[in-house]
Amino acid sequence: MLMTRRLSFILSLVTFAVTVSAQTNAPQGPKQKSSTATKTEAVRAVPNDALLQSANGWTFVKGEWVHPDGYKLSNGRILRTTARPGKAVPQAPGKLALENPQKLTPTAIASLENASRTAADKAATDKAAEKARNLAPRAAPQTGSNLF
């Protein structure tokens, strides 16, 4: 009994000494990296939002600008394709959007919108989806049998 206590004490002492010496020998890295990483992320988020605002709802599909209300932009003119007559014509995409059409394809827009959502928004939508699942009616169990 005394032997096992001494052995466990010595093993724990050696383990402690090894971890302390390993921590003191570790090289110290510069601590400025984390602050620059957050600055670059903040800089990237601003142009994406500005790009989405500049698009005015237009997307770049198969080499032409298309609006979901049924308009397309061709040679600087807005043409009605499937929109109802009498509707107000949407504004043309802004200069920033016209300079970056590849960032405004439907898949790129979806990724930009998902990136701009915060964690609180995601949690709220997850909670709403869970509530909808819980409130959905379920089929009642069949208790009767026609075998008798």
Where does the pLDDT of residue 129 fall: very low under 50, low under 70, confident under 90, or very high at 90 and above?
very high
B/e letters for 50-71, b = 16+ CB within 10 Å, e = fewer, are: ebbebbeebbbeeeebbbeeeb
Q: Which residues pair with 79 in a beta bridge?
A: 72
Measured CA to CA, the distance from residue 42 to residue 36 in angstroms comes to: 10
Which residues are within 8 A (CB) of 55 and not within 5 positions of it... i.e. 6 or more apart? 93, 94, 97, 104, 109
Query: pLDDT per residue over 28-80, tens digit each?
Result: 555 555 555 555 544 443 367 777 777 788 888 888 888 888 888 888 888 88
Provide the residue count of the chain.
148
pTM over 0.85: no
For range 86-107, the mean pLDDT: 80
Higher pLDDT, 137 or 46: 137
Domain locations in the chain?
46-118
Higher pLDDT, 123 or 112: 123
